[in-house]
Amino acid sequence: AQKVTQAQTEISVVEKEDVTLDCVYETRDTTYYLFWYKQPPSGELVFLIRRNSFDEQNEISGRYSWNFQKSTSSFNFTITASQVVDSAVYFCALRPYGNNRLAFGKGNQVVVIP
């Protein structure tokens, strides 16, 4: 069975501060896919980033960056120079190879204070 853990429930930051969201996962599969989604107050989940288990290269995309470490089963996500529009719930998700299901963590509520 798959499990995704997001330990922090609510994180408050002042605008322009960086915020890092932790995600730890469990799976027996050697091939899997990891995702981060954003859920703004409007309710619709929006895809942000994706990483394959065989590619541990960390990347930066605009103000978003992620740190994937297979050895510690972690897939952390950082927003640099946060803005008020970043206030949302962020979900980490795991999809094992050969399985159509997405397993989600419980989400992190990020509040950016102007």
Partner 1 sequence: DVKVTQSSRYLVKRTGEKVFLECVQDMDHENMFWYRQDPGLGLRLIYFSYDVKMKEKGDIPEGYSVSREKKERFSLILESASTNQTSMYLCASSTTTLNTEAFFGQGTRLTVV
Exactly one of 30, 47, 58, 113 binds partner 1 (CB under 8 A); that residue is 47
Strands (E), 1-114: 3-5, 10-14, 19-21, 24-26, 32-39, 46-52, 59-61, 64-69, 74-79, 88-96, 103-104, 108-113
> C-beta of 15: minimal distance to partner 1 in Å?
25
If binding is defined by CB under 8 A, does position 16 make contact with partner 1?
no
Residues 71-100 interacting with partner 1 (rule: CB under 8 A): 91, 95, 97-100
- 16 vs 106, which CB is nearer to partner 1? 106
Residue 45 as a binder of partner 1 (CB under 8 A): the answer is yes
Find where tokens 């050895």 sit: 71
Give the whole-angstrom CA distance, residue 93 versus residue 7: 14
24 in contact with partner 1 (CB under 8 A): no
7 with 108: CB under 8 angstroms?
no
Site for partner 1, rule CB under 8 A: 6, 9, 33, 35, 37, 42-47, 50, 52, 91, 95, 97-107
